[in-house]
């Protein structure tokens, strides 16, 4: 079978215009920003003993904080914390052992869940 130049030209043109599938991996979706709740105990404002920080890139919704002072336990609800914001905590009881746990019920998805708890030992 012989092909004419015009048939070959049409065949090449048809191949060029035919949609093709790409077998390359699709671009990954952008990484969603998450909040990161943590407790800071150094370099604080004079009226605060601790600070709850959101060091993440997104706002955190409502979460709970548990503060244990020696054997007593206190729980507070924080309505939310913007990205980069800080919530100062003033402790009137300077006992020997203070443990603060933010998002203790794990309701806020965070970029780092391992830094939600700090224990301080006050030496008087």
The pLDDT of residue 119: 86
Top mean pLDDT of 23-37, 68-82, 108-122 is at 68-82
| Residue 40 to residue 49: CA distance in whole angstroms | 9
Q: Considering the entire predicted model, what is its pTM?
A: 0.67
Compute and round to an integer the Cα radius of gyration of the chain: 29
> Which carries the bigger pLDDT value, residue 64 or residue 88?
64
Tokens of 97: 């052992």
Query: CA-CA distance, 69 to 29, in Å (whole number)?
Result: 44
Domains of the chain: 37-121 (2.60.40.10)
Whether pLDDT at 32 is above 80 = no
Which pLDDT value is given to residue 20?
45
pLDDT (0 to 100) of residue 13: 46
Residue pair 88/47 in contact (Cβ under 8 Å)? The answer is yes
């Amino acid at each position: 079978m012989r092909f004419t130049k015009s048939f070959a030209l049409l065949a090449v043109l048809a191949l060029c215009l035919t949609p093709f599938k790409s077998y390359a991996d699709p671009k990954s979706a952008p990484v969603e920003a998450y909040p990161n709740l943590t407790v800071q105990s150094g370099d604080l404002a004079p009226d605060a003993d601790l600070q709850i920080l959101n060091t993440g890139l997104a706002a955190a919704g409502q979460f709970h904080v548990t503060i244990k002072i020696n054997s007593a336990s206190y729980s507070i609800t924080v309505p939310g914390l913007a990205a980069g914001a800080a919530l100062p905590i003033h402790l009137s009881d300077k006992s020997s052992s203070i443990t603060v746990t933010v998002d203790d019920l794990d309701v806020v998805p965070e970029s780092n869940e391992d830094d939600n708890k700090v224990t301080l030992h006050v030496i008087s």
